[in-house]
Structure 1
Amino acid sequence: MGWNIFNRKRTPGSLRDRDNAANNGESLPVQDTRAAIEELSKVVQNDPEAVEIYLALGSLYRSQGEIERAIQIRNSLIVRPGLDREFKARAWFELGRDFRRAGFLDRAEKAFHEARALGQDPISIHREMARLTAERGDFEKAAESYGQLDLPLPQAHYLVRLARDRFAEGNVSQGNRALRHAIRAYPGAVEAWLEQMTQAYRAGNANKIGDILGQALERVVPELRFVLFEGLLLALSQAEKARINSFGEETEWSRTCPDEKVVEVVVPIIETQEPDVLLLYYGAMLMLRVEDTDNARSWFEKALMLDADFWQARLELFDLSRADQTLTPFFKEQLSFFIGRARRVRRFFCRHCGLKRDQLFFNCPRCHSWHSIAFRTDITE
């Protein structure tokens, strides 16, 4: 029997209310999806036996965040007398996905078990159960499940998550073992290489950072190499904040190597690579951390020679030029405000669904694509 857990009055933010809002402030694809939902709803009302349409309608509701309606549709199918076993299995399966989307992980697991008992495809069940395990934080079991599914990329990702847990517990050997396993499973796992670099930095071993970076640049696909440098810069910033806030007490960042040492090993490695806009940009950003402004300016200029629309390099050059200008205090204040705002523009986006983020991600929060992150070199993207 299905569950009916949403018995509250609908709020003004319902689907129909939002569709009736003036222009709605939504993109055309979202408006089109909502229009399709309304049309399917009308068809279902006229033909209650249209099970396929019912299932599709429920999935559309789920994609739009209307989880209550999606669950109600699955329940209405599950309790329908004489429903074909195949359709009932699919209804339970989709109900499990609805519950997982809503965060009811235990109910999702029960629904998947019901779907399996009715003959739902075991591979699809296994994949959903692997996602459930990951969302519960059991990264070791999640990695094992994805390995069994022959999906090495998510397997490697959750091995990295496992490694982070082990490092947090102080179990360095098991953490390093999980990272090595991740790279064996998927050599292009940028998150595994980045975590290795971060651990080397925390241990104060600049030469090891260089060794790891050199290997990573050979194995990570070119469009993801910027993640290594973004992550390294983030680690340097975290260490700096920890030193400021530690008041002399030891932290996990206490043994890090000086920024000068990091730049000393990383910049020569970048120089061995083919000219690349993002590598030049991140090299310049590292130089700024050690106040090597002349070389940083030169690298930003080289990046713009490769891509004149690369707004981040242009912004940093503009900021560097402020010291050479005679400005009124008011103009300086306004300029600082706008530069600060520009730096907070979301720099990353998903190549598959277009989601914009200001932080690194390895699995898109919206469409769940793996390694789809990209850098917005053109601010209009």
Structure 2
Amino acid sequence: MPWNALFRFARKKHPLPGADGVRGPEPLTHQDTRAAIEELSQAVRNNPESVEIYLALGNLYRSQGEIERAIHIRNSLINRPGLDQALRARSLFELGRDFRRGGMLDKSREAFSQSAGLMGDTEEVQLELARLAADCGEFERAAGHYARIGQNMAQAHYLAQQARDCFRHGDPVQGEQLVQQALAAFPASPEAWLASVVHCALQADIPALRSTLSSACASIPADQRFLLLEGLLDVLSAARIEDGTPGLPLSADVITRLVRACVDVLTALEPDALICYYCSKLCLFEADQDNARHWLEKSLVLNSDFWLARLELVSLVLTDLELTPFLRDQLAYFVGHARKSKRFVCKNCGFRWDKTFFICPRCRSWHSILFRQEFS
């Protein structure tokens, strides 16, 4: 019986919740995986020459975190006399995955390279090498691997990562070159535009900030512009705290001019609830509560269900009300906890997080993030 038939048999013998066709397939539980391992182990004993069963068994061990067992199985296959080259290459490929899962990154790269030498420089190998380079912090190398398989979005992402490192380490020329390479690969890359906008802000280059932010907003889809503004707010918040970082903090006067330049650029855009919300957040950097309130009210006109804009508006109004200390403390408590609600969601899998992301931590989709404007 083929190994995949045995694997299906194991799952049939230990059905998953919802396997009646009412819901979609769900991942194997620990118990289901152990059952599949028992079935395949028995199949191996009955048919020790079946390479496919060994490969499947190794994959199951890896999924369970039993890396040493998985590696032992791959090596036993690789060293088998007369093994077909394609199967040897596949065994080396899976061995690379085992090493990567076990944190043995140098050995992982060597196994992938040996696999590529046998079965060619395939997209599958390039993808694994790209992920491996990213794990090692070799962002430019990761971008090169993604470029070879035509994944321009990922290529731009890692070029932008490398550019940020260059800016951080005082090499603005190389950083700008990498940003331009990223934008040439993927002109709508929010990561690349953010790296450039942040660099302009930290250099207090107001004209460059205006120009870059304006170009970024014109290039990036409207529902992703918040990635720029969220990143910019984080940087400005960190820049006004004295932490010993070279070139920081920015003076209060510089931050005021940066904020006003950003608000001017955003004001020129087509009205949007999120843009208005971020204008209010920028105004609060200058403690300009009147303008912040104006932008929040405008945001709620555009989307009356925008819960976070309403929450910030309530917070501002509370400062004007005469409340007992007890009631003020209670309201401040609820507002503070409401602010901790996860604002960002993946439109593909529904994953929610309180920080922005370019790759969904759950489903690994690119640029699937949305700002959760309506509270549910």
TM-score bracket, normalised by the shorter chain, equals 0.7 to 0.9
CA contact (8 A) 2:240 2:250 kept: no
* Alignment partner, residue 315 of structure 1: 311
CA offset digits 1:80-128 (Å, max 9, x no partner)? 5576544443333223223223322112112213423442662211221
Secondary structure of the structure 1 residue equivalent to 2:348: coil
CA contact (8 A) 2:116 2:125 kept: yes
Secondary structure of the structure 2 residue equivalent to 1:374: strand
Deviation at 1:227, TM superposition (A): 0.5
Match of 1:79 among 76, 81, 84: 76
* Alignment partner, residue 12 of structure 2: none
CA contact (8 A) 1:86 1:120 kept: no
CA offset digits 1:247-274 (Å, max 9, x no partner)? xx96344478623322322223323323
Give, in whole Å, the separation in 2 of the partners of 1:349 and 1:226: 13
* Structure 1 residue runs without a partner (length 5+): 1-27
Q: Which amino acid aligns with 1:371?
A: H
Give, in whole Å, the separation in 2 of the partners of 1:295 and 1:60: 58
CA 1:187–1:159 in structure 2 vs 1: closer, same or farther (change >3 Å)?
same
* Alignment partner, residue 128 of structure 2: 128
Give, in whole Å, the separation in 2 of the partners of 1:341 and 1:373: 23
Give, in whole Å, the separation in 2 of the partners of 1:255 and 1:159: 30
Write out aligned runs for 1:188-337 (5 A).
188-242=188-242, 245=243, 251-254=247-250, 258-337=254-333
Give, in whole Å, the separation in 2 of the partners of 1:320 and 1:331: 15
Aligned-pair identity (%): 39
Are residues 1:90 and 2:87 paired?
no
Q: Which amino acid aligns with 1:291?
A: A
Write out aligned runs for 1:122-161 (5 A).
122-161=122-161
Secondary structure of the structure 2 residue equivalent to 1:47: helix
Secondary structure of the structure 2 residue equivalent to 1:137: coil
Give, in whole Å, the separation in 2 of the partners of 1:295 and 1:169: 37
* Structure 2 residue runs without a partner (length 5+): 1-22
Match of 1:347 among 343, 348, 353: 343
CA contact (8 A) 1:96 1:111 kept: yes
Secondary structure of the structure 1 residue equivalent to 2:111: helix
Deviation at 1:46, TM superposition (A): 4.5
Write out aligned runs for 1:43-54 (5 A).
43-48=39-44
Q: Which amino acid aligns with 1:373?
A: I
Give, in whole Å, the separation in 1 of the partners of 2:282 and 2:202: 17
Are residues 1:115 and 2:115 paired?
yes
Q: Which amino acid aligns with 1:67?
A: G
Matched length? 347
Secondary structure of the structure 2 residue equivalent to 1:317: helix
* Alignment partner, residue 23 of structure 1: none
Deviation at 1:209, TM superposition (A): 1.3
Secondary structure of the structure 2 residue equivalent to 1:90: helix
Aligned-residue CA RMSD in angstroms?
3.1
Deviation at 1:173, TM superposition (A): 1.4
* Alignment partner, residue 28 of structure 2: 33
CA 1:113–1:250 in structure 2 vs 1: closer, same or farther (change >3 Å)?
closer
Give, in whole Å, the separation in 2 of the partners of 1:290 and 1:153: 36
* Alignment partner, residue 356 of structure 1: 352
